[in-house]
Amino acid sequence: MPLFDSPQRPVGSGLLAIAIAMGMASISSQVSAQHITASGSSTVAPLVAEIGKRFEQRHPGVRVDVQSGGSSRGMSDARQGLVQIGLVSRALKADEADLTAVPIAMDGVSVILHRSNTVPALSDAQIKGIYTGAIRNWKAMGGPDRPITVVNKAEGRSTLELFLHHFQLRNRDIRAQVVIGENQQGIKTVAGNPGAIAYVSIGTAEYEAGQGTPIRLLPMGGVPATVAQVQAGTFPLSRPLNLVVKGQPSATTRKFLDFAQSRDVHDLVKAQFFVPLAR
């Protein structure tokens, strides 16, 4: 029996190719199992990135990749299986029962002004008036004679949803001059425009103000906008920061979720100016 059935192809080479392919698939599966991907909320992403670095240090061979893009992206990517973990800076809704939320911290949302703006506080009615265009100049509230630049969050951002729900508004009601995505964009806009108003994560804003960025966090309902008030449960506009998964996570992803809820990352949560959850 000849060893070759053609000048180029050995007998049984097809079986060998199948075996190699199966081996490669197995290797690919193992690599995938050691690769955790997450996407979503720009509020949650920096914290999860830091948690991921520590998890990688404790689990050599595991890689954690984190991307932002908004809570809606996190929900969509997790549902479609594009990532193992979605990052969502709000509670799940009734029609999102197909996903499981894993809370890792609490945060608040604060209205911010430029530090030079002398308006000490705004009522809910005044904030609604500003965002709907009924109030257009700061002098109407005892501030400087300066036009108001309204900064709003883009569609798909959970901060927007929380803001709209609290003030009983619809996004189409808002008359904004600037639309931003991430918290840092809102802070940068207000810091560079004395007439601007925006709403962002308290944790991020408190940190930036402490670093000298010319912004000021406004109280809400007489409660100061601080991480301490969020921790005490007294700040009106607060939210959970969640990791969401669809179906049964892999063993490696499950370990990461447990780690993200553990006391081993409380220092990372506090470093981001969020409130750790007792566990």
Nearest partner of 108 among 264, 272, 236, 245, judged by Cα: 236
Indicate the Cα dihedral angle 269, 202, 155, 163, nearest 10°.
Answer: 130
| CA gap 257, 45 in Å, rounded | 14
Tell if the pTM clears 0.85, that is, is over it.
no
Portions of the chain given CATH number 3.40.190.10: 13-106+240-276, 108-232
Contact between residue 147 and residue 137 where contact means Cβ atoms under 8 Å apart: yes
| CA gap 226, 218 in Å, rounded | 10
Query: In this structure, what DSSP letter does residue 104 have?
Result: E
Helices (H), the chain: 13-33, 45-58, 71-80, 124-131, 158-167, 183-191, 202-210, 227-232, 251-261, 266-271
CATH 2.30.30.30 for the 13-106+240-276 domain, yes or no: no
**At which residue do the structure tokens 């508004």 appear?**
169
CATH 3.20.20.210 for the 108-232 domain, yes or no: no
Give, for all 279 residues of the chain, the pLDDT tens digit: 333 333 343 334 444 343 334 443 333 333 355 899 999 998 899 999 999 999 999 999 999 999 999 899 999 999 999 999 999 998 998 999 999 999 999 999 999 999 999 999 999 999 999 999 999 999 999 999 999 999 999 988 888 988 998 999 999 999 999 999 888 999 999 999 999 999 999 988 999 999 999 999 999 999 999 999 998 889 999 989 999 999 999 999 999 999 999 999 999 998 888 899 866
Structure confidence at residue 156 (pLDDT): 81
Contact between residue 121 and residue 217 where contact means Cβ atoms under 8 Å apart: no
Structure confidence at residue 231 (pLDDT): 87
| CA gap 201, 204 in Å, rounded | 5
